[in-house]
Chain A
Amino acid sequence: MIKNIIEVREISKTFSLSTKTPGIKGTLKHFFKRETIEKKVVKNINFEIKEGEIVGFLGANGAGKTTILKILCGLLYPSSGYISVAGSRPFERESSFLEKITLIMGQKQQLIWDIPAIDSFYLNASIYDIEKKEAIKRIKKLSEMLEIGSEIYLPVRKLSLGQRMKAELLAALIHNPSILFLDEPTLGLDINAQANLRKFLQDYNKQTGATILLTSHYMKDITYLCKRVICIHEGYITYDGKLEKLLKKLSPNKEISIICKSKKDIENFKKLNLEIKNINDNQITFTINKIDFKKTLKEVLNKFDIEDLHISEPPIDEVIGKILINKK
């Protein structure tokens, strides 16, 4: 049985935020007496993650996804609750725990700007007690996986965003972490670079069995990598389960377009009591529930003389977007 690598029980996080009303009056009031509000951004959440899983965190901006990642990797101290990551309490930041994890943030860098990336790789290797010989091996292997070559000998400031992101990944993975926290890892990358990065992460997961937790607003990152998703809304978990099941729940119907040979067929079709979306000459578009899909399609094909048929599902971005827009 695969064991849980992450366990979260009733975790909450509250931030103290200072507020200010606009205008000179508000400014003066703010100067003499600061007003603060307590904002609970993560609210009593519970979940477990198994070793080797890739889990996507979905939610609108400010939902609490990144805060959860920060708590899990030990950057933030939770206000209440129990948390265990790889058998440690993350916020204690013990070396044995830190050696198992990495955090990668899109557009944030840990590489030293003015010197070649290779120097930062060696520095990171030494921080994690990796001998130089072993470090050279790992850099070679990761460079091949990431398809990055002589660029690592250039000062970081001279690299393109895509090259820099690859170098950042290499630096973050040199110690072979078994848990990866990725916060918007493909942010700002072009389509090819995004695809390469996704492929790399999938390969890394397969080769090392690493657990990956990911937040992204690019749905392709989620659909390509994650079988399981956790949806967050205003600090609560609103869904935790298979992505496929979520898509079925949010999009229970298929859309079918048929082109009939005659107008008479169209008239007869209307009598079927199906949900018609639109009629355009001999073309009729209707939706059917995925459960009744086979039965209904069979009936339509038997009863009508059809010239052409097209079956489609709503685009995945649109479906997942419902979570972000409707926040349900």
Chain B
Amino acid sequence: MKNSTLYKLNTLFKTQYANMLEYRAEIALWAISGVIPFFMLNIWTNNGLNESINISSVMLSRYFLSAFFVRQFSVVWVVFTFEEDALLGRVSPYLIQPLHPFIRYFAQHIAEQITRFPFALFIATFFFILNPQSLWMPSILTIAISIISTFFSFLIQFLMQSIIASFCFWTEKSSSVEKLLFIPTLFLSGLLAPVASFPNYVKSWIYLTPFPYLIDFPASILSGNQTSVVGGLLIQLLWIILFFSIFKKVWKSGTRKFTAMGL
């Protein structure tokens, strides 16, 4: 990577981090609002549902805690920000600067993740106090691979939403398209239940979609559940390459349609 690119990215991250720290209270609340996996864990263990899929309650606790972490660091909201910026005319100055607007949004997301990290850690500590039997220490390698796969999960979601956000050049409310994606993401990603617990007929096609690679795959790695690490990472990379090339095409034809609203 060229020095100038590093300089740009470094300044961009620092500026966005300073900006995100202004919203630390909101980010703390967002972190707390991501506790769905803990509710799901409660439902699963209280009803003994884990026995039906041959997963011990401890492993299930670890899975849902890992899912919580993966979710914390793969939350994407670019479609909403871009839509607002496009409607208010803020995209125009970004478009005439020698930096792709989505690199700005990317930096915003990373800055937000760094800001939310201590809050996520605090919630995890609280979880271990309440569930001391779930405490485990993954190896450094496992942590490293989990971080990579969580980052890939973030990239897949970021690119998916960026494609949808680019629809703003045709329709003002592209976030409504994102809402269509919310349901499969919620149910098929492994946020509500490990994909291993899904019926066989669902498992026969679900791996052809990007959804299990968003939460289930990275969470399984981190929690120590059995999964094909290399295969999973390669599939994540394939989705990233595919979505990136789609995004480039949609963006190129979208900017030709741009009407510079609100300017």
Interface residues of A (CB under 8 A from B): 15, 66, 70, 73-77, 91, 93, 95, 98-99, 101-103, 105, 108-110, 112, 114-115, 119-120, 122-129, 183
Contacts and interface: CB of A to CB of B under 8 A. Distances in A.
B47 interface: no
A93 B260 contact: no
Contacts, number: 84
Given A75-B263, A98-B97, A127-B99, A114 B19 contact: yes
Contacts of A110: 90, 93-94
Contacts of A75: 92, 95-96, 258, 260, 263
Interface in B76-130: 89-90, 92-99
Nearest to A77: B256
Nearest to A131: B7
A126 B22 contact: no
Contact of A112 (B7, B11, B19, B255): B19
Main secondary structure of the interface of B (DSSP, over half): helix
Interface of B: 4, 7-8, 10-12, 15, 18-19, 22-23, 89-90, 92-99, 255-260, 263
16 contacts: A66-B263, A73-B96, A74-B95, A75-B258, A77-B255, A77-B256, A91-B256, A98-B97, A105-B89, A108-B93, A110-B94, A115-B18, A119-B19, A125-B11, A126-B12, A127-B12
Contacts of A91: 256
B98 A115 contact: no
A115 B15 contact: yes
Contacts of B15: 112, 115, 119-120, 122-123
Given A93-B95, A112-B19, A115-B18, A126 B259 contact: no
Given A75-B260, A76-B258, A114-B22, A128 B93 contact: no
A77 B8 CA distance: 28
Contacts of B256: 77, 91
